[in-house]
Amino acid sequence: MGAMASIPAAQVQRGRPIGPDLPRRAWRGAAIGAGNLAAWASRASGRGSGASIRGQVITTLYPRAFAELIAGRRIAAVSGTNGKTTTTHLLTAALRSSVADPHDVVTNADGANLREGIASALSQRIHAPIAVLETDEQVVPDLVRLGHPEVLVMLNFSRDQLDRHHEIKSLGKKWRDALQALGEQGPVVVANLHDPLVSWAAEAAHTTIWVDMGVGWTQDAALCPECGAVLRYELSEGWSCPGCGLAQHAPDYAVDAEGLRGPEGAHWPLQLAVPGRFNRGNAACALAAAVVMGVQPTTALQAMAGVTAPAGRFSIGHFGETSARLLLAKNPAGWSESLLVMQSDPVILAIDSAIADGTDVSWLWDVDYEQLAGRHVVCTGPRAQDLAVRLSYAGVGHSLVPSLGEAMHAHYDGTVDVLATYTAFLTLCKMGGVTW
C-alpha cells in the first residue's frame, strides 16, 4: 500500500465533517437532533429543562454551531452581572408585541447564557429573524464579533462567581476592546451610567444611549478604570475621576418616581408586575433597546407590564402548607437590592456554593444584612452556617435550618419571602412546583 495522505490540519476538528459527503447543514441538523434527544432524556429523568445539555451536545458534535446559529439575525444582546434574565424577558416581550408572529423572536428564556445555552435556544428556531440573547459577560466579545448585534445592553459589573470571574476590570476591557475593534460595525450600546466600568467600556461604542437606572452599587467601583485614580462620588454630580476626567454621563433615559423619562422631554408611566427598584432600572434599559430595534415606546411598555415571573423569579412555590415567593440573587449587589423587596417576617435566606453559584462565598460580608434588623431570618442551604455567622455580626435574629426541605415545610403565617443563590433557587423551584 502507498503512504496514506495526511489530512490538512485545518480539517482536523472534533465533530466537524471531513470531505464533501457530509454537508455542513446536514451535520448540524444531526447534531441538533442528538441535542434534542439529550434534552428529552433530561426532562424525562427529572434532571432539568434540558436546555444546557442540548447545547453541550450540539456544540460538541458541531463546534461551529454557535457562530452559525447567531449569524444572519437581528440580535439584541443583554449582559452584565445583575438583571440579565429579567431585562431579557422584558425586551423579548416588547419585541414580540411588535411583530406579526411571536415565533419570529427567539430567546434563551431559561437563562442559559453561555455559548452552549445560546446555541441550544437558537437551534429550536432556526429561521427566526430576531434574537434576544441573555449573554454571559465572558461571551460578549465573541457574540459582538460573530453575531454583530444591533443593540447591546450593558447593565453593571459586580463581583460574581469569584472563582470564575477573577477580575471584573478584565471583563470590562474585553468589552471595550471588542467595541473598538468593530467601530461603526458594532452595536448601539445601552449603558448603565452609574457604573464606571460599564461607562468606560461603553465609550468605545460608535453610539451609546445612557440610562439612569435609579440604583447604583458602588462597592465594586472605587478606582477609575482608565487611570486608576480613586473615584469621587457626589450626590448631585454622580461619580467622576479627578485624574483623567472620566465622569458620569447625562442620561438619555431615566427612572423617576412617576415612571420613565426619555429623549426630548418624553415621559411614560411605568407599571410592572415584577417588584423592586432594580427592575424599574432594568425596564428602562429594555425600553431603550426596544426603541433602537424599532418598537414604539408605549407598545413596549404595555408588553413589559405583562412579564410576571422571568425564569421563575418572584414565582409563588408551594411546599406542603407553606406558600413562598422565590427570589434569586447571586452576588452582593443583587442580594442588597433583593433584601429591600422582602416583606415577610420571618424571611428565609438560602445559600449554596456549587460551581454554578461560585464556590467563594466571602461576598456575604459585603451585603447590608443590617436592614433586616427586627425581623427573624431562617438560614438554610449547604452554606447556612456561613450566613448565620454573618447575621450574628449584623445583630439580626436568626435560626439555622440547613435542610432546604425542613426549612420550607415549617409553619409560616401567609406567604414567606425566600431569597436564594442559583442552585438553591433551582432546587426550591423544583420542590415548589415552579416551572417556566
Q: For residue 199, give the C-alpha cell.
A: 461607562
Residue spans of beta strands (DSSP E) within 256-319: 259-261, 267-269, 316-319
**Does residue 345 carry a catalytic annotation?**
no
Tell me how far apart the alpha carbons of residues 34 and 274 are, in angstroms, rounded to a whole number: 37
Among residues 192, 210, 199, 150, which one has the least CA distance to residue 175?
199
Per the residue annotation, which of 360, 368, 386, 417 is the catalytic one?
A: 360
Q: Please state, in angstroms and as integers, the Cα–Cα distance from residue 19 to each residue in 16, 22, 27, following that order.
A: 10, 7, 12
Grid cell at residue 113: 447564557
Burial of 163: CB neighbours in 10 Å, binned 0-12, 13-18, 19+: exposed
Binding positions for Zn(2+) are 224, 227, 241, 244
**The total number of residues written for the chain in this structure:** 436
* Residues contacting 50, CB < 8 A, separation 6+: 38, 39, 40, 41, 42, 43
Q: Distances from the Cα of 39 to the Cαs of 47, 49, 85, 136, in angstroms? A: 10, 7, 21, 21
The CA angle 255-171-225, to the nearest 5 degrees, is 70
Dump strand ranges (E) for 343-403: 347-350, 377-380, 398-400
Grid cell listed for 295: 418598537
What number of other Cβ atoms are within 10 A of residue 320's Cβ? Answer: 11
Active-site residues, by number, are 360
